[in-house]
Amino acid sequence: MKPEDSPNDGNELKTSVRIEGNHPTKDQTDSTIRPDHPAIRLNPHGELDGNRSQAEKERSCVKEHSLFEQVLERENLQRAWKQVKANKGAPDIDGMTIEEFSQFIRKHWETIQTKLRDGNYRPSPVKRIYIPKPDKPYEKRPLGIPTILDRVIQQAIAQILSPLYEPNSSDSSHGFRPCRSAHGAIKQWQKQSQKRRRRCYVVDCDLKSFFDTVDHQKLMNRLRQRTDDKALLRLIGYYLKAGLILPNGSYEETCIGMPQGGPLCPLLANILLDELDKELEVRGHQHVRYADDFLILCGSPRAGDRILRSISRYLNRHMKLMVNETKSKVVELSEASFLGFSIIKRKVRWTGQSKRRFKKSVRMITKRTRGVSPVKVIRDLQLYTRGAINYYMPGLHFQEARDLDQWLRRRVRLYYWKQWGRPRTRRRNLLKLGICRSEVHKASRSRKGPWRLTNTSIVIRAMTNQWLSDQGVPAGEGSIEQQWINIRYPDGPKQKVKAGRKVQGDLKV
pLDDT at residue 330, rounded to an integer:
94
pTM of the model: 0.78
* pLDDT tens sequence across 76-133: 999 999 999 998 877 778 788 888 888 899 899 999 999 999 999 999 999 999 888 8
Model confidence at 29, pLDDT cuts 50, 70, 90, reads very low
Backbone angles phi, psi at 61, to 5 degrees: -65, -40
- Look at residue 65 and tell me whether its pLDDT is greater than 90: no
> Is pLDDT of 61 > 80?
no
Give the model's pLDDT for residue 186: 95
Give 342's strand partners. Answer: 349
Give the per-residue pLDDT at 134. 73
Query: Among 136-140, 250-254, 503-507, where is mean pLDDT lowest?
Result: 503-507
DSSP codes, 290-308: ETTEEEEEESSHHHHHHHH
Is residue 322 within 8 A of residue 205, CB to CB? The reply is no
Angstrom distances, CA of residue 420 to CA of 181, 191, 402 = 43, 52, 28
Per-residue pLDDT for 504 more than 80? no
Give the Cα separation of 287 and 431 in Å (integer): 61
Average pLDDT over residues 155-173: 93
Q: What contacts 393, CB < 8 A, 6 or more positions away?
A: 484, 487, 488
Q: What is the pLDDT of residue 201?
A: 94
Q: Is the pLDDT of residue 47 over 70?
A: no
- Which band of pLDDT confidence, cut at 50, 70 and 90, is reported for residue 137? low
CA separation for the pair 490, 488 (Å, rounded): 6
Print the SS3 string covering 140-187: EEEEEECCHHHHHHHHHHHHHHHHHHHHHCCCCECCCCCCCCHHHHHH
pLDDT band of residue 37 (cuts 50, 70, 90) is: very low
Higher pLDDT, 492 or 27: 492
**Residue 238's pLDDT is what?**
95
On the question of pLDDT at 356 being above 90, the answer is: yes
Q: Is 42:35 a contact under the CB 8 Å cutoff? A: yes
- The one-letter amino acid at 94: D
Among residues of the chain, what percentage have pLDDT more than 90? 61
Work out the pLDDT band at 475, boundaries 50, 70, 90. confident
pLDDT exceeds 80 at position 211: yes
Report residue 297's pLDDT band, with 50, 70 and 90 as the boundaries.
Answer: very high
Is the pLDDT at 146 greater than 90? The verdict is yes
Between 11 and 201, name the one with better pLDDT: 201
Distance separating alpha carbons of residues 382 and 397, to the nearest angstrom: 20
Minimum mean pLDDT among 8-17, 190-199, 354-363, 428-437: which range? 8-17
Q: What is the pLDDT of residue 97?
A: 84
Q: What is the pLDDT of residue 15?
A: 37
Cα–Cα distance between 67 and 70 in angstroms, integer?
A: 5
| Cα angle: 117, vertex 121, 127; to 5 degrees | 145
Quote the pLDDT of residue 494.
61
| Residue 192 pLDDT class (50, 70, 90 cuts) | very high
Distance of CA 275 to the CA centre of its chain: 20
Cβ atoms of 143 and 130 closer than 8 Å? yes
Helix extents (H) in 203-326? 216-224, 230-240, 265-283, 301-318
pLDDT of residue 51: 45
| Average pLDDT of the segment spanning 188-193 | 93
209's CB contacts (< 8 A; 6+ apart) are: 257, 322
**Residue 274: alpha-carbon gap to chain centroid:** 16
- Which of 47-56, 369-378, 412-421 is least confident? 47-56
pLDDT in tens, 311-323: 999 999 999 999 9
Average pLDDT, the chain: 83
Query: What is the distance between the alpha carbons of residues 253 and 247, in angstroms, rounded to a whole number?
Result: 14
Amino acid at 455: N
- For residue 495, the one-letter residue type is Q
- More reliable by pLDDT, 173 or 136: 173
The model's confidence at residue 413, banded by pLDDT at 50, 70 and 90, is very high
- Of 214-223, 282-291, 425-434, 485-494, the poorest mean pLDDT is in 485-494
Partnered with residue 33 across adjacent β-strands are: 13
The 10 Å Cβ neighbour count of residue 126 is 26
